[in-house]
């Protein structure tokens, strides 16, 4: 399976870059005398950074999810002997109805997942900046009453820390784990690209009457290992005592996040071992 490392790395770099620019924007704030007006100027710049990131990632998804689907179709065309080379197969790729539908859903899904990251960063940063304005005002008031001209270093350090951490959480998942924006984006796109590749493989195979597949091998070191080389059914409609793709996935051992396992379709399971 093509790994799309180069494409994923480019998107992850865009998130890293945006996070870095937001951090620098926050570091530029004069926390010792932070006015609401200055905070709003910084927030407007941050909103621009995130909007352009959203645009870039939407374009990335619209180009790369279909590319992963084409990869899966090529996989099937070669496995079933419809084409001999990847080049020949590329020329024959066409999205059937199942794949057109699946790709549209995968694009929408992935875009929603990525949008959730920038929305979270936006919300956290906004709330941290507004908190900083309030903290700064309060600390200045107290310092003035105490006859000092500037607020204490401890307060400034704490304000810096909470602003910095606001931009470092992209997503908190259902298990309560915090994901840095770029790490989450890497995991989500890798997982969605692999799922799209696999589903496109299945949809093309089923249309061509191939209902079985053998799971790929790359000497995995996780729970997937015991699934390498095993035969699955691509649909519960197919006869035979093999687990279906969904049953294999439901074990939680294979096709987990970041899993790179794919499968090679075949018309007859006895030709696979
Ligand atoms: Zn795996």
Structure tokens at 188: 């989500």
Query: For residue 232, what is the enclosing H or E element?
Result: strand 231-233
Of 270, 269, 227, 229, the closest CA to residue 248 belongs to: 227
CA of 216 to the centre of ligand 1 (A): 9
User: Is 60 exceeded by the pLDDT of residue 62?
Assistant: yes
The domain ranges of the chain are 5-208, 209-273
DSSP tally for the chain: helices H, then strands E:
7, 5
pTM of the model: 0.90
State residue 271's pLDDT score.
Answer: 67
Query: What span, in angstroms and rounded, lies between the C-alpha atoms of 247 and 236?
Result: 10
Is residue 18 within 8 A of residue 50, CB to CB? The reply is yes
Q: In 3-state terms, what secondary structure has residue 266?
A: strand
Tens of pLDDT, residue by residue over 78-94, are 999 999 999 999 999 99
The whole-chain average pLDDT of the chain stands at 93
Q: What's the gap in Å between 233 CA and the centre of ligand 1?
A: 18
Residues 105, 20: Cα–Cα separation, whole Å: 31
CA of 171 to the centre of ligand 1 (A): 23
Separation of 256 CA from ligand 1 center, angstroms? 7
Position 272 confidence tier, pLDDT thresholds 50, 70, 90: low
Q: Sorting pLDDT into bands at 50, 70 and 90, what band is 24? A: very high
- Distance spanning both ends of the chain, measured CA to CA: 20
The CA 259 to ligand 1 mean position distance, Å, reads 4
* 125 CA from centroid of ligand 1 (Å): 36
Mean pLDDT of the region 183-207: 96
Model confidence at 242: pLDDT above 90: yes
The three-class DSSP label of residue 212 is strand
State the pLDDT confidence band at 218, using cuts at 50, 70 and 90: confident
pLDDT in tens, 96-130: 999 999 999 999 999 999 999 999 999 999 999 99
pLDDT above 80 for 3: no
What average pLDDT score do residues 254-258 get? 88
Q: What does the block give as tokens for 6? A: 């180069």
How sure is the predictor about 202, in pLDDT bands with cuts at 50, 70 and 90? very high
| DSSP code per residue over 140-182 | HHHHHHTT-SS--HHHHHHHHHHHHHHTT-SEE-TT--EE-HH
At residue 143, the pLDDT reads 86
The pLDDT value recorded for residue 211 is 96
Distance 206 CA to ligand 1 centre (A): 23
127 CA from centroid of ligand 1 (Å): 39
Cα separation of 54 and 42, whole Å?
18
Q: What pLDDT, on the 0 to 100 scale, is given for residue 260? A: 87
Q: Which two tokens stand for residue 182?
A: 């770029």
Taking only Cα atoms into account, the Rg of the chain, rounded to an integer number of angstroms, comes to 25
The CA 195 to ligand 1 mean position distance, Å, reads: 12
pLDDT exceeds cutoff 80 at 146: yes
- What phi and psi, each to the nearest 5 degrees, are found at residue 102? -65, -45
Dist. CA 41–CA 38, nearest whole Å: 5
- 188 CA from centroid of ligand 1 (Å): 15
- For the cut 90, the answer to whether the pLDDT of residue 40 exceeds it is yes
Query: Residues whose CB is under 5 A from ligand 1 (ion)?
Result: 220, 224, 259, 261
The mean pLDDT value for 217-242 works out to 91
**Distance from the alpha carbon of residue 232 to the mean position of ligand 1, in angstroms:** 15
């Amino acid at each position: 399976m093509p790994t799309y490392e180069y494409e994923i790395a480019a998107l992850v770099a865009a998130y890293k870059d945006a996070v870095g620019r937001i951090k620098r924007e926050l570091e530029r704030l004069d926390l010792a005398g932070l006015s609401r007006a200055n905070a709003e100027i910084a927030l407007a710049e941050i909103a621009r950074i995130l909007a352009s990131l959203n645009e870039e990632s939407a374009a990335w998804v619209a180009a790369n999810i279909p590319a992963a689907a084409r990869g899966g179709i090529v996989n099937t065309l070669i496995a079933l002997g419809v084409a001999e080379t990847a080049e020949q197969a590329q020329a024959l790729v066409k999205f059937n109805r199942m794949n057109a539908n699946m790709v549209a859903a995968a694009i929408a899904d992935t875009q929603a997942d990525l949008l959730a990251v920038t929305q979270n960063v936006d919300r956290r940063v906004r709330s941290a900046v507004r908190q900083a304005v309030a903290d700064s005002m309060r600390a200045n008031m107290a310092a003035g009453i105490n006859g000092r001209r500037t607020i204490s270093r401890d307060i400034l350090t704490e304000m810096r820390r909470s602003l910095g951490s606001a931009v470092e959480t992209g997503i908190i998942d259902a298990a309560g784990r915090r994901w840095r924006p770029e790490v989450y984006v890497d995991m989500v796109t890798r997982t969605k690209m692999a799922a799209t590749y696999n589903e496109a493989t299945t949809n093309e195979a089923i249309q061509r009457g191939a209902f079985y597949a053998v799971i790929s091998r790359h000497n995995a070191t996780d729970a997937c290992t015991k699934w390498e080389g095993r035969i699955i059914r691509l649909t519960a409609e197919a006869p035979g005592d093999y687990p279906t793709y969904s049953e294999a996935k439901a074990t939680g051992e294979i096709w987990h996040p970041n899993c790179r396992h794919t499968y090679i379709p075949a018309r007859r399971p006895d030709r696979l071992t």
